[in-house]
Amino acid sequence: MPVPIAEELAKKQQAISVAEFFEKNRQILGFDSAPRSLITTVKEALDNSLDACEEASILPDIMIQIRRLGKSGVSIVIEDNGPGIVREQIPNVFARLLYGSRFHSLKQSRGQQGIGISAAVLYSQLTSGHPTKILSKISPTSPAHYYELMVNTKTNEPEILHDDIIDWDRPHGTRIEMEMEATYVRGRRQSVEEYLKATAIVNPHARITLIDPDNNKTTFERVTDCIPEPAKEILPHPHGIELGTLMKMLRYTERQKLASFLRYSFSKIGLQTAEEICLASGLEPDTPPSELGREEARKLLDAFKKVKIMSPPTDCLSPIGEDLVYKGLNKEYKVDFIATASRTPSVFSGNPFVVEVGLAYGGDLPKDERVGIMRFANKVPLLYQQGGCVTTHAVESIKWKQYGLNQPGGGLPVAPAVLLVHVASTNVPFTSESKDAIADIPEIQSEVELALKEVGRKLNKYLKRQGSLKKRREKEVIITKVLPKMAEILAETLDKEVPDINPVVARVMGNLLVHRQVYPNSNGGLDVSLKVANYSSKKLDFRLHEILPEQVNASPEAKIVRMGSDNDHIWNISLPVGDTRVITYSTTSKTRLPDSIVEGVEEDIVTGAKAIKGL
């Protein structure tokens, strides 16, 4: 009978505290295995320290110490030189989920959910039964506050087990100490050390010190003393704002008039734009926002689309920078080629975001494995859930064959390459609270794809050039081996002296030919004629050098530079395709002349002379 059943079921209905929820679903927060739980804890603490230091314009100096406890436990200490946390906030910040300073502010930051560190506290108490110990100091003149905290999972409220004021030699900073079931692993990409390494790459202004369970001390030293420009907080941009959000804003604003509401609640809406929007929506600028309902909100949304509004400010973002992307890859891998690309900022549902990409190729990278991807979001390395990340999906969606990479069965290309992808935004849309992967937001995917195609094209150019050089060399080798033999045989049979086959080679190869012919003259010296012919497919501008013991009068005349005992005769030559120049001079020297030198033409298209980059 259904009657009792509905009532039966009703008895079981009850509210679930967010702490209970995450206690049961801790894998959602990144606590699904012993090694990962440790990485997640370090990550969350580190994110907070770096964010706080950035906001306080402090050069971060962060110490992480991990000790083994028993067979399956660890103790973790994270200490920073940040601004510290005021006393009354400490319990909420560390022992209450969904509590924080960055959730409601529109700017790029590492933490944005108000869950991370309290999740670590939750996991710590769940697996060790111990409270977390917090020590924090906000200035040299104020005392350090010490707390022992737990999360009351039934209520998601902090439980203060101990509260004290103690001495701390630091001028300011925060120290966290907790115990948990976790394991410290080595030599994997998914390890604390690799995580810190990756963090250091994109945070070159931070000093991070790790003391591992075997007391090995590793310091990731800062490579610059300039603190990155802190990201600015912005107002929401009218584009892509949701109807419901707008209705809520209208309902809760303190502004009395629609026009000023628009002007002061959104970025890029000035006096004039506000009026245009009112006009376009057919709403009176003086209407109190509170009187505007669903229909009016809808009209405003349409007006946002009609009226021209500047795209959102980007000082709320703090990208890594192509330079650092390059350095990062170059430091991490021994490769032959690196390309980077950085897109101009874009927007998804009102949130500005920017994509940066790097590609490293060749060198020591394994040839028959799928390419590796280093993923970053708001300068935080993403180590897990690669397969679930929009960045990976973007890589997979690209036809890499057209850029010269193998892609058997689709998916990630198989090539000696590594990709670095960074997505920075005021609100990175992660697929879960563990912040491992970025959701498949179409706008983001297309930006990542465009950036990847850019580095793809650069790679393709590089590979093509490598390919053609290889071909050229093979071709030239054959020709320069075969032709001389033919020439010799010919010479023998015709009983003539062996002809110089350079001209032939040059013509066949499409090279720049420098053909020097030397005839003994009546003065006991040599008459020299230099023929320079451009058989290549492009106009060539270069300098021709003849190094001679004495200074000679050549025609055309040469610029002469003394070089020790020798004289460098220099001709600036600009030679259109197919053109030829002849230079003649006489020298007293009887010995074999040193090779002519061509400066400013790529080595592999020069025949009959030495090619150099520049003296």
383-442 residues in contact with a second copy (CB under 8 A) are: 384-389, 392-393, 408-412, 414, 427, 429-434, 436-437, 439-442
Between helices 192-202 and 322-332, what is the axis angle to 10°? Answer: 140
* Residue 169 binds a second copy (CB under 8 A): no
Nearest residue to 396 via CA among 377, 410, 378: 410
Tokens encoding 391: 């960045």
Query: What is the token pair recorded at 520?
Result: 């003994």
**370 binds a second copy per the rule CB under 8 A:** yes
Rounded distance between C-alpha atoms, residue 521 and residue 241, angstroms: 89
CB 503 to a second copy: min, Å: 48
Q: How far is the CB of 387 from a second copy (least distance, A)?
A: 2
Query: CA 523, CA 381: separation in Å to the nearest integer?
Result: 77
- Binding to a second copy (CB under 8 A) within 24-43 occurs at 24-25, 27-28, 32-33
Binding window for a second copy (CB under 8 A); candidates: 54-62, 283-291, 339-347, 565-573 = 54-62
CB of 378 to a second copy, least distance (A): 14
Question: What is the spatial distance between Cα 47 and Cα 55, in angstroms, rounded to a whole number?
Answer: 12
Q: Is 614 in the site for a second copy (CB under 8 A)?
A: no
Q: Quick check: 63 and 400 in contact, CB under 8 A?
A: no
Half-sphere exposure of 470 (CA within 13 A, CB side): 6
Site for a second copy in 272-311 (CB under 8 A): 294, 297-298
Among 1, 254, 555, 576, binds a second copy (CB under 8 A): 1
Q: Does 194 bind a second copy (CB under 8 A)?
A: no
Choose between 24 and 590: whose C-beta lies nearer to a second copy. Answer: 24
Residues whose CB is less than 8 angstroms from the CB of residue 161 and which lie 6 or more positions away in sequence, other chains included: 131, 148, 149, 150
Contact (Cβ atoms closer than 8 angstroms) between residue 124 and residue 180: yes
C-alpha count within 13 angstroms, C-beta hemisphere, residue 337 = 18
Nearer to a second copy (CB atom), residue 411 or residue 556: 411
Q: Under the criterion CB under 8 A, does residue 313 sit at the interface with a second copy?
A: no
DSSP string, 288-309: -GGG--HHHHHHHHHHHHHS--
Q: Which of residues 567-596 bind a second copy (CB under 8 A)?
A: none
d(CA 445, CA 356): 12
Q: CA-CA distances (angstroms) from residue 334 to 341, 418, 462?
A: 20, 11, 17
Give the range of 271-279, 368-376, 397-405, 486-494 binding a second copy by CB under 8 A.
Answer: 368-376
User: Would you give the DSSP letter of residue 234?
Assistant: B
Least distance from C-beta 243 to a second copy, angstroms?
5
Contact between 155 and a second copy per CB under 8 A? no
Supply angle C-alpha 574, 579, 581, rounded to 5.
70
Q: Per-residue x/- marks for a second copy, 88-127, CB under 8 A?
A: xx--xx--x-xxxxxxxx-------xx----------xxx
Among 162, 171, 256, 270, contact with a second copy (rule: CB under 8 A):
171
By the 8 A CB rule, do 261 and 269 touch?
no
Tell the smallest beta-carbon distance from residue 391 to a second copy (Å): 11
Q: How far apart are CA 320 and CA 375, in angstroms?
A: 12
Total site size for a second copy, rule CB under 8 A? 99
Tell me which of 165, 166, 243, 491 binds a second copy, using CB under 8 A.
243
CB of 303 to a second copy, least distance (A): 16
Q: Given the complex with a second copy, which of 270 and 410 has the nearer CB atom?
A: 410
Taking CB under 8 A as the rule, does residue 49 contact a second copy?
A: no
Q: How far is the CB of 329 from a second copy (least distance, A)?
A: 21
* Residue 85 is a binding residue for a second copy (CB under 8 A): yes
Q: Is the Cβ of residue 119 or residue 544 nearer to a second copy in the bound state?
A: 119
> What is the distance in angstroms between the CA of the first residue and the CA of the last residue of the chain?
98
3-state secondary structure of 231: coil
